[in-house]
């Protein structure tokens, strides 16, 4: 159909291209198919699932970073449960921390017990000062930490971890992502935790579900079933005027409506004739990149009693470390264990080493998680250019420009990287459903005249 010509009045004939077969793209596609649209999903990988996929190697299963389902949304709980035929574990989260040679219960701010006396004293005194001093304006995440946790704890713990995990200074971050993710303790909690070990949990994830087998990726089935999937289709060019797509494999396709879950900087870079101001804004959106280090070893004991842990020390490149066989024994062969360590980088903090794998192994040994005598059965790294959307101070202004342009062109964005938000798997699924609903509403609102963009 030539550009600008009306689409058929019967919307079930409108064809929708969905870019990206992660949870959000698949959810959008599933929902649109249910409404009667002709939907094609285009995915660059040779598999569906995006970040929710689980990789297998040497009998081990590794998710793309530790993935657990802690959704409170009943509809997503049901959807995921159905995908694995009810075969999942539901357990209390076990989390721990490593700080300068000490193992600290989680969260560290309410578990100072056992740390050197001078550290505990400084943290307590500063906590009292911040709580009972003049309230200060919260301009950024650094202010939030100083006001909520006190200067000593912030500088010795949170700021160090922030530079590793978020790859930037806390003062370069806003606070709109924090929500329940960081516990802001009361004075009583801090004092109790300084005097004796605490059993009360303050992590925002207390209980979670994880499939019995196949890793987190087994949940992807919830939205992947029955889809028209075009795998190995990396979108290279999007022509919004003509309604056409070109792929790296040399093929092309047309569409009447477009839903995209691609990372916004990638999408914008592929759209034909994008205004320079929009291209500039998209290029300034920042995401952390992740090098995952996946290790399989010939023992299943001698690990911390935790599903995952945080390493605060800045002289150690690892930020979060998890133990996949603790999530499900099926993630490792019998008698063997697995470690997954995360090393983050971005334009703000480039990788400190050219050999991440070797450095990670050395740092795991420093903490005592790996021993020189260990028989390492598998050691590999996986690079993820898009990990966590960075809520740096420029994010909102640039995002408004990019989303404004895409909305004007009738492109429906969804998912963690389409909405450019701190979305968990449940949010991403819901975001896909939402994009489908919006698209349908738009078409229903003008059923007689639906034109190509
Ligand atoms: C390290 C880490 C840990 C996480 N842990 C948890 C957790 O414990 N619990 C939880 O609920 N959530 C977790 N999440 C979040 C969860 O992974 C995401 O919310 C969800 O998987 C995002 O789905 P999506 O569809 O929005 O994006 P994606 O999964 O990124 O999907 C986008 C898809 O687009 C494809 N694509 C990209 N470019 C192109 C192109 N040019 N052409 C065609 N296709 C393309 C990609 O290959 C991908 O498949 C975690 C995320 C990360 C990074």
Residue having the nearest C-alpha atom to atom 15 of ligand 1: 424
pLDDT score for 446? 74
Indicate the pTM of the whole model: 0.94
pLDDT score for 50? 98
Q: Which of 436, 11, 452, 30 is nearest to 229 (CA)?
A: 30
The pair of structure tokens assigned to 171 is 């003062």
262 lines ligand 1 (CB under 6 A): yes
* Cα 355 from Cα 358, distance rounded (Å): 6
Q: Which residues share a beta bridge with 452?
A: none
Residue having the nearest C-alpha atom to atom 13 of ligand 1: 424
pLDDT score for 202? 66
* Cα 337 from Cα 60, distance rounded (Å): 9
pLDDT score for 175? 92
Q: How many Cβ atoms are within 10 Å of 116's Cβ, its own excluded?
A: 12
pLDDT score for 123? 97
Average pLDDT of the chain?
A: 93
The pair of structure tokens assigned to 222 is 């919830």
pLDDT score for 225? 87
pLDDT score for 12? 55
End-to-end CA distance of the chain: 12
For 65-84, what is the mean pLDDT? 97
For 254-274, what is the mean pLDDT? 98
Q: Where are the domains of the chain?
A: 11-53+216-285+395-445, 109-195
Please tell me the distance between residue 179's alpha carbon and the centre of ligand 1 in angstroms.
21
Instruction: Specify the fold of 109-195.
Output: protoporphyrinogen ix oxidase, domain 3 (1.10.3110)
% of the chain at pLDDT higher than 90: 87
Q: How many Cβ atoms are within 10 Å of 273's Cβ, its own excluded?
A: 7
Instruction: Specify the fold of 11-53+216-285+395-445.
Output: FAD/NAD(P)-binding domain (3.50.50)
pLDDT score for 327? 98
pLDDT score for 451? 43
Query: Residue ranges of the alpha helices (H) in 60-157?
Result: 74-83, 117-132, 141-149, 151-153
Which range among 171-185, 197-211, 322-336 shows the weakest confidence by mean pLDDT?
197-211
SS3 of 422-451: CCCHHHHHHHHHHHHHHHHHHHHHCCCCCE
pLDDT tens digits, one per residue of 107-143 = 999 999 999 999 999 999 999 999 888 888 999 999 9
Q: What is the DSSP letter of 197?
A: -
pLDDT tens digits, one per residue of 147-196 = 999 999 999 999 999 999 999 999 999 998 888 777 888 999 999 999 98
Which of 19, 46, 52, when mutated, tests ligand 1's pocket best, judged by the most ligand atoms within 8 Å of its CB? 52
* Cα 354 from Cα 356, distance rounded (Å): 6
Tell me if domain 11-53+216-285+395-445 and domain 109-195 are identical in fold.
no
pLDDT score for 203? 64
For 420-433, what is the mean pLDDT? 98
Which range among 2-11, 88-97, 146-155, 243-252 shows the weakest confidence by mean pLDDT?
2-11
Please tell me the distance between residue 426's alpha carbon and the centre of ligand 1 in angstroms.
11
Which ligand 1 atom sits closest to the C-alpha of 290? 1
pLDDT tens digits, one per residue of 53-62 = 999 999 999 9
């Amino acid at each position: 159909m030539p550009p600008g010509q009306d689409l058929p009045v019967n919307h079930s004939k409108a064809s929708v291209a969905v870019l990206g077969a992660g949870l959000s793209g698949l959810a959008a596609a599933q929902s649109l198919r249910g409404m009667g649209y002709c939907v094609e999903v285009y995915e660059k990988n040779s598999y569906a699932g995006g970040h929710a996929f689980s990789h297998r190697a040497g009998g081990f299963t590794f998710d793309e970073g530790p993935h657990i389902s802690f959704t409170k949304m009943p509809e997503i709980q049901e959807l995921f449960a159905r995908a694995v035929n009810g075969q999942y574990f539901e357990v209390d989260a076990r989390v721990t921390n490593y700080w300068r040679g000490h193992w600290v219960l989680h969260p560290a701010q309410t578990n100072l017990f056992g740390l050197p006396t001078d550290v505990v004293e400084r943290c307590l005194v500063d906590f009292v000062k911040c709580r009972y001093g003049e309230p200060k304006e919260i301009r950024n995440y650094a202010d939030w930490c100083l006001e909520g946790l006190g200067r000593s704890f912030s500088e010795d713990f949170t700021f160090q971890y922030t530079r590793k995990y978020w790859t930037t200074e806390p003062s370069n971050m806003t606070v709109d992502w924090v929500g329940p993710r960081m516990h802001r303790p009361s004075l009583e909690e801090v004092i109790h935790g300084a005097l004796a070990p605490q059993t009360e949990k303050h992590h925002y994830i207390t209980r979670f579900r994880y499939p019995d087998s196949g890793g987190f990726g087994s949940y992807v089935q919830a939205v992947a079933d029955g889809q028209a999937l075009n795998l190995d289709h990396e979108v290279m060019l999007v022509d919004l005027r003509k309604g056409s797509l070109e792929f790296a494999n040399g093929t092309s396709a047309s569409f009447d409506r477009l839903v995209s879950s691609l990372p916004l900087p990638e999408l914008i870079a592929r759209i034909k004739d994008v205004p320079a101001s929009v291209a500039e804004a998209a290029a300034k959106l920042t995401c952390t990149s992740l090098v995952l280090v996946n290790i399989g070893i010939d023992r299943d004991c001698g690990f911390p009693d935790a599903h995952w842990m945080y390493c605060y020390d800045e002289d150690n490149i690892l930020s979060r470390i998890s133990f996949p066989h603790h999530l499900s024994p099926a993630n490792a062969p019998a008698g063997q264990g697995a470690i997954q360590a995360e090393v983050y980088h971005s334009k703000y903090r480039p990788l400190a080493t050219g050999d991440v794998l070797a450095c990670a192994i050395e740092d795991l040994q420093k903490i005592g998680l790996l021993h020189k005598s260990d028989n390492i059965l598998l050691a590999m790294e996986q690079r993820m250019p898009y990990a966590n959307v960075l809520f740096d101070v420029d994010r909102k202004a640039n995002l408004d420009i990019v989303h404004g342009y895409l909305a004007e062109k009738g492109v429906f964005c969804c998912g963690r990287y389409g909405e450019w938000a701190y979305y968990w798997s449940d949010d991403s699924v819901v975001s896909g459903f939402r994009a489908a609903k919006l698209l349908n509403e738009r078409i229903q609102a003008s059923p007689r005249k639906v034109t190509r963009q």
